[in-house]
Amino acid sequence: MRKKEMIAMLLAGGQGSRLGILTETKAKPALSFGGKYKIIDFAMSNCINSDVDTVGVLTQYQPLQLNQHIGIGIPWDLDRRNGGVTILAPHVKGDSGEWYTGTANAIFQNIDFISEYNPDYVLILGGDHIYKMDYSKMLSFHKKSKSDATVAVQEVPMEEASRMGIMNANELDQIYEFEEKPAEPKSNLASMGIYIFSWSVLKEALAKDNEIHPDSDFGKHIIPMLLEADKSLYAYRFNDYWKDVGTVESYWMANMDLIQTVPEFNLYEDFWKIYTDSDHQPPLYTGPNSEVRTSILSEGCEVMGKVYNSVIGPDVIIEEGAVVQSSIIMGNCIIGSGAFLDRCILDNSCVIGNGAVIGEGENIPNVERPQVYDSGITVLGESTAVPAGVKIGKNCVVYGITVSEDYEDLQLASGHNIIRGMEGDL
């Protein structure tokens, strides 16, 4: 196996519970974004654009759709004999096996994989952020500063710093203190969860911390341990677009960022392409009575109705007289004639009956999970069917094949749910 200067370990096993029903059947990194993409495409594309050609993808929660999407890495030019992409799931070792119990624990369980390449440096990434970043520039910074570990940081408004992991650094950006969600933050340098470690330092730290913390985590344990041991840690400032799409509202807002006349985040720059595994689709079709404004339409769509300020995935059909506004419609959905959708998120393969109205009414938080559904967005889970003529309010969750009898007077009031055939979490 040819030695690599740096390999990437991409943490993609998270459940994403704050995204509610959207991650019931898939890991968060496998969630669609911006029409035809998946969230994990951004970190994967960043790797190959940065000349990082060896990527281990650590999966755990609901990995099927994620594994199918990644395959052998062809879209990202990672189908290689020496390096390329490798799926790393929890596995049996000796007489027993164990789940990944923390971000650092997941890396510790895959030390043998990293050791095969014996890299000088290891890049640790999350698979659930939207951004474009040249990791080679971060590596150059790491080497120039002779750092043992480099943490990518972004300046955030001071009022938001108390909700994040904050790196306190001197005028040379050398980190001297880490604070997890400090009540009174001393700085606004928030950790992005992107790290470069010198491999020898990381290997020793992982082994040592594993003896102390079975749920070893980079932010809670590894970074504080290195600081305590007087290791050299530096903050690498990243000043471009970066979004953690960990909630229903932030996911919706990040998609809406894409459709501005001059988008804050541009998916289509030639010099930094975002690659994805997409089938060859027929061209999109817009009918003679259709109207589309400030929206993204993916390949294979048929739009006979009206679409405003929305992101539409591949192979979606929007029938005559239907209106979709301020919504995210993922692939293979059918919006029936005369239906009206406002501030909705529809997962893949939903079917909306003729004349149904979704997203009208008072903005009342969800009765069962007000902390997840409180921003006026109604969410339909994967393969949900809504019958013709029903009215569904705001902050609602609908999942499964529903029929008219499920709706009292053909209505579902704001903040209420109809769940069919699901035992998991909303």
Under a CB-based contact definition with an 8 Å cutoff, are residues 419 and 412 in contact? no
Decide if pLDDT at 262 tops 90. no
Q: How far apart are CA 56 and CA 47, in angstroms?
A: 11
Decide if pLDDT at 119 tops 70. yes
Q: What is the pLDDT of residues 207-254, one digit of tens each?
A: 999 999 989 999 999 999 999 999 999 999 999 999 989 899 999 999
Average pLDDT for residues 106-110, to the nearest whole number? 94
**Closest to 87 in 3D by CA, of 110, 57, 107:** 57
**Residue type for position 309:** N
pLDDT of residue 293: 97
Q: What is the mean pLDDT of the chain?
A: 93
**Closest to 285 in 3D by CA, of 265, 302, 268:** 302
* Structure tokens that stand for 6 in this block: 């740096």
Q: How far apart are CA 201 and CA 317, in angstroms?
A: 53
Q: How far is CA 110 from the centre of its chain?
A: 23
Residue 210, SS3 per DSSP: helix
Residue 28 phi, psi dihedral angles, 5° rounding: -55, -40
Q: What is the pLDDT of residues 360-399, one digit of tens each?
A: 999 999 999 999 999 999 999 999 999 999 999 999 999 9
pLDDT of residue 40: 96
